[in-house]
Amino acid sequence: MSNIPAELKYVSSHEWLRLEADGSVTVGITEHAQELLGDIVFVELPAVGANLAADEQAGVVESVKAASDVYAPIAGEILEVNAELEANPELANSEPYAAGWFFKIKPANAADLDGLLDAAAYAAEIGA
């Protein structure tokens, strides 16, 4: 049974989003996503300052088993990437909602978050 924190937002491509106090949004991949991928061995993160459209490719996560694209769940500018994750990709397996975060994005439009999945809707989507 996957852990799906109630306070986060989700998209069906298995990224989670957390709205921070300063208005930025932290993005990572869900516990379900890391379970599907298995042991993660490389991550490629977007360039800081890049302006991405919603659903635009923001990076790659490679596990022993497969390579998978990571998408920007909302449009915005990349403010920061998790350098510790690049050095220790297994953090996305062990702490997908904490130390395993991928990047922080400044939403082009704060209201974009409202249309995303809540925990219950994401759980339904993955059949959890």
Partner 1 sequence: MTAPKRTPLFDAHVASGAKMVDFAGWEMPIHYGSQLKEHEIVRSDAGMFDVSHMTVVDITGSDAKVWLQKLIANDVAKLGFEGKALYSGMLNEQGGVVDDLIVYLTATGYRMVINAGTTEKDLAWMDKQSAGFDVKLQVRRDLAMLAVQGPTAIAKVCSVKPELADAIQALKVFQGLPSGDWFFARTGYTGEDGLEIMIPADQAITFFDELKAAGVAPIGLGARDTLRLEAGMNLYGHDMDETVSPLEAGMGWTIAWTEGRDFIGRAALEAQKAAGVAMKQVGLVLEGRGVLREGQKVVVDGAEGIITSGTFSPTLKHSIAIARVPAATGATAQVDLRGTLTEVRVVKMPFVRNGKKVFE
**Cα–Cα distance between 61 and 83 in angstroms, integer?**
14
Q: How open is the CA angle 4-5-6, to the nearest 5 degrees?
A: 110
- x/- mask, partner 1, residues 63-102, rule CB under 8 A, reads xxxxx----------------------x--x---------
Collapsed DSSP state (helix, strand, coil) of residue 36: helix
- Give me the least distance between CB of 63 and partner 1, in Å please: 8
**Cα–Cα distance between 96 and 92 in angstroms, integer?**
5
Burial 8-20 (b: 16+ CB within 10 A, else e): bbbbeebbbbbee
Structure tokens given for 44: 């490629």
Which of 63, 82 has the CB closer to partner 1? 63
Q: Residues 30, 8: contact at Cβ < 8 Å?
A: no
Structure tokens given for 65: 């088993």
- Give me the least distance between CB of 12 and partner 1, in Å please: 22
Q: Is 62 in the site for partner 1 (CB under 8 A)?
A: yes
Which of 39, 55 has the CB closer to partner 1? 39
Q: Is 125 in the site for partner 1 (CB under 8 A)?
A: no
Q: Is 42 in the site for partner 1 (CB under 8 A)?
A: yes
Q: By rule CB under 8 A, what count of residues binds partner 1? A: 14
- Give me the least distance between CB of 27 and partner 1, in Å please: 21
Residue ranges in contact with partner 1 by CB under 8 A: 38-39, 41-42, 44, 60, 62-67, 90, 93
